[in-house]
Every structure is written in C-alpha cells, then in structure tokens.
Amino acid sequence: MSPSKTAGPAQKPRTRRKKRRKTRGAPSTSSALLSLPDLLKWNTWLSNTPTADNPTDSDADCTRNLFADLASYGHRAVCIDAVAGTAPDPGDIAMPWVQAGVTAHCEMLVQVSFARDCELLERVYKISAEDFLRWNPAVGSNCDNMLPNYSYCVKGPA
C-alpha cells in the first residue's frame, strides 16, 4: 500500500519581484513646489516649445536646452525661486571659471574640457578666429592660455 498524501492548502509558486529601476531624465515639477510655468518664466532660455521630432512633448525643448552645450561634468544654474526686486543686467553676471577679459555681454558661453580647443570651438560654432580672440582675449593669439574647465564666449554681442 502506498502512503497517503494529505491534502493541504495550495501554495502559490514563488516568483521573484522585479526591482524597479530608477530612471534619470528631465526633472519633474509635478510633485514639487515649483510649477512648470514658473520655471519657464524665470528661465526663459529653457523654452518649452514642442519640436518637430516630438510635437506632443511639451518638455522637449526644455530638456534639450537644459543640457545643450554642457560638458559631460558641467553644471548650469537654473532659477527655482524669485523674489521681488530688479534683476541685474545678465551681461554683468559672469559664470564661474571664466578668464579675465571675456566680453561682458557674451550671448553664449561654452565650457571646454581640455586646453587648446580654440580651433575646435571656431569650427563647431562657425565663428572666425578674430571674433573668438576679440571675445576671449586672455587665450592669446596662439591659444596658449586656454585653460581646461573654463568657459569661453562663442557668441558675442550682436
């Protein structure tokens, strides 16, 4: 005679739970105290206009502009709060790590990761060597004084 099996409660087979991966992407303002309209009002350079590639994504340009021309370990200031008062002229504010003599009314600064990048910046941003030297006189005529991790003007005053 074979041993009898006792019927017990049915057990569910064990399954492994998938770990949730943290994803990185554009910061969300949905659960923050900062609203998207305020973020865009205080940081007009973010421009929240949808793109041709992604016409339904209202954050498309915001994300692109936030990271545009930023070195891999670069940083960029973003205004997240405003107080009453008068804002200074943006031409009077210098980013950290800017050599002396960079034009005060530069429209676009780019951080370089290594020295002697003058020709590359001129080629990428389609500017002449004369303009680059006029906007960044401290680099010297042979680009001997360009320093890594400093920002340089690639679009001067109009």
Query: Could you tell me if residue 19 is inside a domain?
Result: no
pLDDT tens, 40-89?
A: 777 776 765 555 555 555 554 566 666 666 665 566 666 666 666 666 56
Look at residues 118, 121, 112, 111 and name the one whose alpha carbon lies nearest to residue 140. Answer: 118
What is the per-residue pLDDT across 110-133, written as a single tens digit (0 to 9) for each? 888 776 678 888 988 999 999 999
Selection from 100, 101, 111 nearest residue 120 by Cα? 111
Query: Which residue in the block uniquely carries the two structure tokens 């004084």?
Result: 145
- Residue 133's pLDDT is 92
| Count of structural domains, the chain | 2
Task: Specify the CATH number for the domain of residue 138.
Answer: 3.10.350
Residues in the chain: 158
> 155 and 104, same structural domain?
yes
Whole-Å CA distances, 39 to 12, 48, 70, 145: 50, 10, 19, 37
Could you tell me if 73 and 39 lie in one domain?
A: yes
Phi then psi for 153, rounded to 5 degrees? Answer: -75, 125
13, 83, 140, 158 from 104: Cα distances, Å: 69, 25, 18, 13
Is residue 14 assigned to a domain? no
Q: Tell whether pTM > 0.85.
A: no
Mean pLDDT value across residues 141-156: 87
> Is residue 113 located within the same domain as residue 63?
no
In a domain, 108, yes or no: yes
Residues 135-147: b if buried by 16+ CB within 10 A, e if exposed: bbeebeeebeebe
Amino acid type, 1: M
- Whether residue 1 is contained in a domain is answered as no
Instruction: Please tell me which residue, 34 or 21, carries the higher pLDDT value.
Output: 34
Is residue 12 one of the residues assigned to a domain? no
Q: Are residues 141 and 114 in the same domain?
A: yes
3-state class of 138 per DSSP? helix
Full domain range(s) for residue 131: 98-158
- Per the CB < 8 A criterion, the answer to whether 154 and 104 are in contact is no
> Do 117 and 144 belong together in one domain?
yes
Secondary structure element (H or E) that encloses residue 110, with its range: strand 108-111
Using DSSP's 3-state secondary structure scheme, residue 5 falls into coil
Tell me, yes or no, whether 78 and 104 share the same domain: no
Q: Are residues 40 and 73 in the same domain?
A: yes
